[in-house]
Structure 1
Amino acid sequence: MKGRVPFLRRSPAEGRTPLTAGARRVIALNNGFQLLFNLLWWMPVFYAYQRQAGLSDAQIFGIQSLYYIAFCLFEIPTGLVADRIGARNCLRAGAVVMTAANLAPVLSPDYTGFLVHFLAIAAGRSLTSGAASAYLYDALHAEGADDHYLHAEGTARALGLAAKVMCWPLVGPLMALSRPTPYLLSAVSAGASLACVMALPRLVGAESGGRRSGVWREAGRALRQLRGSPWLALVMVQGVAVFTLSRICQVNLFQPILIDQGIPEPSHGGVLAAVTVAEAVGAARPQWLGRKLQPLTMVSVLSLAMAVSLAGITLGGPMAAVALLCLFSAVTGFAYPIQRKLVNDAVPPGAPRATLLSVESIIDRAVCALVAVAAGAYLSAGRMDALLWRSAAVTAAVMLAVHLAVLIGRPRRPRPPRAAREERQEAVGHA
């Protein structure tokens, strides 16, 4: 339909335009970067590793709290940096910082070393969180391959998850050979991700130094764009609901759910592998959902499915709980690339994309921090069932509010690049 914007268009399941050689190169290098940068070999053992290094539980969880605070504080400044120096340069800086971060526990296996390690990881991930998505989106647009963004984002996420499933079981045997191996391998992976970024093509105009305005002026411009685009704010609210559910389940509630269901601890690794595979499959194939629903509606339906899956865990036994966790992860995999494309399409033309994506990220993590505190209170009171059911209810309320705002307010929607290009081509054809 002429004039219809793409974040309300149905996601194409087929018929994408052929990829150019440049677009293929960008996608391949992005896949490599996302896989290697996020491949943290130490993730399954970092708690035990720090305990063996002499840290107390209070010190370990204190470092984790500082990590989340640092991540929130770094998000906006690093988004501004990405918009000022170019997303590709920001990715390079992030890879360098991440490489150094993973070496800190090897060089100083004590409280100070682990604190520096996690603070540097917060900085490295903040440098890349908005910049990676912004670079991929802009690079594919420059190659005329906008409709490949959804598949490219999902494939990169799926490959990263698959790599974790294959590599994490090797951590135990490798540590038996050399205790610091997980951190050394993580540093090697981060260094290899830098090689991928160095090979990424330069985007025309993105790193030319044309942005002479000050950092605070850039921040003010981003906030004005957000305030002047109610549609973008609504899409961000919807995304926060998706990512909060995902992180709370996969990080905070995963083991408590298994323990509550009586699943023995030695089996937890196998369950984690199963749910990771399920998420990887969903992330790799968002097009399986077809074209029957608009993207905004699709994300809402998937969010509700995630919430219902969590609530349903309270009604069955251990096998049902594992099956529902796998379903939850598969739906999360489907939702992630669709929501990423939705929010990227909602960014107004000319707006500081990486900064605005960082705004979404900082809101997401702030909400996660609040929900994690509430989840801890529920678990301490032995009210797991109430927590899961109320999570489903809150998610349903948020999705209803988003759609009511769309129906009642009719927020003005920015014209996306692809729709504008199609209309120009049509006008030329009629001329």
Structure 2
Amino acid sequence: MSRSSAHPGNAGTSRPSAPGARRIIRLNNAFQLLFNLLWWMPVFYAYQRQAGLSDGQIFGIQSIYYIAFCLFEIPTGLVADRLGARNCLRAGAMVMTAANLAPLLAPTYTGFLAHFLAIAAGRSLTSGAASAYLYDSLRAQGAGEHYLKAEGQARAWGLGAKVLCWPLVGPLMNLAHGAPYALSALSAAGSVVCAMVLPGRATSPPTAGARRRPTALRDATAALRTLRATPWLALVMVQGVAVFTLSRICQVNLFQPVLLDHGIGESSHGAVLAAMTVAEALASARPQWLTARLRPASWVTLLSLAMAGTLAGLALGGPWTVIVLLCLFAAVCGFTYPLQRKLVNDAIPPGAPRATLLSVESIVDRAVCALVAVAAGSYLEAGRLDALLWHSALLTGALVAVWHLALRHSAGPVPTALRRSPRPQPYRDLMGK
């Protein structure tokens, strides 16, 4: 992948493209904020309980959600490379809008199941397409070196919006019980508007077959061939799966059980979740602080070990220690996510089906989450939460060790994706500040 057009010293090339890059970044920030602003997230468990669902039904729906996400990821990544990432973002936003209306129209087991199935479809349509669109669009504008900061800042804006909105969910539910889902649908509708006004499809570097639109089968074959020929890419994806699984399981599935186990009542969960979100948002906004000192891959490894240590600490500390560790865990996740996205994108060779490859990672990620969620449910039913935390930490450490052994025995020179990132131009030039 050539980066000459985006080099800081190539001012003649990068300066004229700045307005287009600024527009892409701002629209991406707005899309990510509105698309991911799920007002119902802090209360969906209680909401479903009040609707008459049992614990078995609620966690059963979550397991089905993970599996459905895997199944939906298979075709949607291919669709993104075939029809364009921007069209996938539009479709995903429309599906998300409809998904958030389902619990209002049918507050039953069937309605909530349909809701989460549609959420899985909407997220799978955008999971690889959003990252691919931003990466390719900034490269086409000669601003590829700003991708890392743009990815992190979009996530930070989204997390900041959650901090402001989630404390309002309780009072709003007292006024109108279905307010969290209605507001989520309204936010998703706003993301539809953002997707509609995104600039046209980014032009990728020319390849031998660029004149012909690839078929879905050709994209899938090319993705598998790329993984087989690029062991670094496969290793980076495995590292990402471990990170995202830890983050998802701790912050979504185990968040409330851990707090309840340490005597922290449900009335305080919103405040703790807001504090965690602030920590993650602050870290997500500044991932470039780390890359000037170590390689991005080394940082992701160290951060993975920090996440594992934090999980183990949750089994030992008291209530206040647990709250601090949860915030620390969230901050580590905030640093890790944009670094991992950049690692994967940089490891994908030019001309490869980027959205399809990113969807492959999401498929494996959600499949592992589905298995871990089942295991976590078994641990919790047996009253072994502390054992679950310890075993998760030990397993993470073992996987990191295996990953480094595989890295050392991989043939070929160290690719650019695993080297220290160059220092980009001042980000304020792109954001017009």
Shift of 1:67: 1.6
Shift of 1:252: 1.8
Shift of 1:205: 4.3
Distance 1:105 1:46 in 2: 10
Given that 2:301 and 2:400 are in contact with CA atoms closer than 8 Å, whether structure 1 keeps it comes out as yes
Q: Find the counterpart in structure 1 of residue 60 from structure 2.
A: 62
Relative distance call for 1:382 and 1:180 in structure 2 (3 A) is closer
Given that 1:162 and 1:276 are in contact with CA atoms closer than 8 Å, whether structure 2 keeps it comes out as yes
Shift of 1:111: 3.0
Distance 1:241 1:407 in 2: 19
Shift of 1:48: 2.7
Which secondary structure state, in structure 2, belongs to the residue aligned with residue 40 of structure 1? coil
Q: Find the counterpart in structure 2 of residue 222 from structure 1.
A: 223
Relative distance call for 1:63 and 1:312 in structure 2 (3 A) is closer
Distance 1:338 1:234 in 2: 15
Which secondary structure state, in structure 1, belongs to the residue aligned with residue 379 of structure 2? helix
Q: Find the counterpart in structure 1 of residue 403 from structure 2.
A: 402
Alignment map for 1:150-161 (pairs within 5 Å): 150-161=148-159
The one of 159, 183, 187 aligned to 2:181: 183
Given that 1:283 and 1:336 are in contact with CA atoms closer than 8 Å, whether structure 2 keeps it comes out as yes
Q: Find the counterpart in structure 1 of residue 213 from structure 2.
A: 212
Distance 1:341 1:116 in 2: 33
Distance 2:350 2:89 in 1: 22
Please say which of residues 46-55 and 91-100 is displaced more in the overlay. 46-55
Q: Find the counterpart in structure 2 of residue 94 from structure 1.
A: 92
Q: Find the counterpart in structure 1 of residue 299 from structure 2.
A: 298
Shift of 1:336: 0.5
Letter in 2 for 1:166: L
Given that 2:276 and 2:327 are in contact with CA atoms closer than 8 Å, whether structure 1 keeps it comes out as yes
5+ residue gaps, structure 1: 7-11, 420-431
Please say which of residues 184-193 and 216-225 is displaced more in the overlay. 216-225
Given that 2:3 and 2:144 are in contact with CA atoms closer than 8 Å, whether structure 1 keeps it comes out as no
Shift of 1:391: 1.9
- Counting matched residue pairs gives 406
Q: TM-score, normalised by structure 1?
A: 0.88
Letter in 2 for 1:255: Q
Shift of 1:211: 4.9
Relative distance call for 1:260 and 1:51 in structure 2 (3 A) is closer
Shift of 1:115: 2.3
Given that 1:348 and 1:414 are in contact with CA atoms closer than 8 Å, whether structure 2 keeps it comes out as no
Relative distance call for 1:55 and 1:372 in structure 2 (3 A) is closer
Is 1:31 paired with 2:29?
Answer: yes
The one of 117, 120, 144 aligned to 2:118: 120
Distance 1:314 1:50 in 2: 28
Letter in 2 for 1:77: P
Q: TM-score, normalised by structure 2?
A: 0.87
Distance 1:256 1:93 in 2: 35
Q: Find the counterpart in structure 2 of residue 352 from structure 1.
A: 353
Shift of 1:269: 1.8
Letter in 2 for 1:120: A
Is 1:254 paired with 2:252?
Answer: no
Q: Find the counterpart in structure 2 of residue 371 from structure 1.
A: 372
5+ residue gaps, structure 2: 205-209, 421-433
How many percent of aligned residue pairs carry the same amino acid?
71
* Per-residue Cα deviation, 1:264-287 (whole angstroms, up to 9, x for no partner): 332222111111111111111112
Please say which of residues 164-173 and 300-309 is displaced more in the overlay. 164-173
Letter in 2 for 1:400: A
